[in-house]
Structure 1
Amino acid sequence: MDTASLGGILLALVGILAGLLLEGGHIGQILQPTAAMIVFGGTLGAVMLQFPLRTVLAACRRLVRIFFHGKDSGEATLQQIVRFANKARRSGIVSLDQDLSTIEDPFLRQAVMLAVDGTEPAELRRIMELEMDNHTEIEEKIPAVFESAGGFAPTIGILGAVMGLIQVMQHLDHIDEVGKGIAVAFVATIYGVASANLFFLPVAGKLKHRIHEEQFVRHMMLEGIVSILEGMNPRILEVKLESFLTSPRAKGKEESKPA
């Protein structure tokens, strides 16, 4: 579990609600189902209009990665590649065909399969880099869904507030209820601004971070399999791949070099 994500949401909610209670308010003042329906329904509709349904559903499925993330996935992948290197050194690269069914990551499985099939290192690198580029283009749309929701929600919150004020103005003959009605109307604005700044935009930022980490691990996978094909010593290979986990800046410098 990602304690930063869970703790961040809890801290934000506790801070806001505590401030409300200290000012003499109560939670019931901001619990308005109608306002929630307007803001979240309108935001979801706008997002679905902007993005294909498949992308929206993919973004919803990715939410679990905000709170649960395998911290040791990179280290486990490194050790798996080193085992492949030792086996290939003893029995040849073709011997890795027996391990294909045990590889869970589709990217690594495809890279190993190409290696077993006798693909040249340069060609394997070209194929898998193209796969990474396609994968990255798809993944970059996921945070964009939440960024768009963060942009729509405050505006729709204002729309909900205006709709509430319209209802209030139609009942000015009951002046005692006007103040209460105005307060209720502005709850929609609270929902819009709060959901954008406490959920949608932070989620987009965290997903970008997660995607960057996954891309980094895929670079390590590719470099590891190509190095195995080139006959690199497993111990040297392990040291080489460890730099991917300990020096994130190294990848940025490597990617900036001309091809």
Structure 2
Amino acid sequence: MSSTVSTAGASRVYVPPTARWRLTPRSGLAVLGAEVRKGLTTQLAHPIAHLVMVAFTATVYLGLQYVMGQGQIQRDLVPQTLIGISGYWLLQFASMVMVADLVSEKRGGTFAAAQMAPAPMWLVMGGRLITASIMGVVVAVVATLVPMLVMGVTIPLRWAALVPYALVLVNVLAFTFMLAAFALSSPMIGVLQTMLTSMVILMNGAVLPLSFFPDWLAVVARLLPTTIGVEATTKVLFQDKSLSDIWSDGTLPWLIAYTAALALLGWWIFVRNHRKALAEGRLGQY
């Protein structure tokens, strides 16, 4: 709404600041930057908690390997399973950051207040996804290095592996966004997140490589986030496959299609739940 203000015989139209805001590359980057700074400041306010979680998750991984090895860790399987566990850590911490912040803001009423900002909600959520990806990548890298140093093993480096692993990250962010979409309407989002991420750690190659699974279980495992990306990455790193090889055998096309489908599904659920919560006035409560 605008109003006319008279000054010294002249008049000018007053336009509220929110009405003057326009989405441009500069203003969009400013919104993203503000969201990322806010998110990182919140997360880094308690660094000890993150260090404890990294130590705990690294210990859990080594414990799982000890159990699966029936009293000893199979060192030849550690490099492959580290690819799987790093994908799980990406998912676990990225979704924890995204969902926990959203639930906290909903309960505090600040998420509902954010709807009055001129910036579109998809841009705000994009900034939160960037924060989630930064925290997820940092934790995954550190938590992967710890078992490598403890066990004295290495992961071979091949530049081609960055392509499928980058898609693992996109896959994780798409699934994280879908969890955030469910968080808009479901008070059980914590239970849902725990259940789904627990299935991922058991079936994405973090405990045993996918090649050890029965055929029917491998098919089920590939329906979970990160699994196909971990499989493609391990083929490049440990089977000397090229990108053309994993394209020809269908792994890379399925990874791209799965990631795109997951991103579209998460976007659709978020738009649907966001509109429904706005219409029912439930953005500040469950």
Provide the TM-score with structure 1 as the length reference. 0.31
Bigger radius of gyration among the two: 1
Higher relative contact order (CA 8 A, sep 6+): 1
Provide the TM-score with structure 2 as the length reference. 0.28
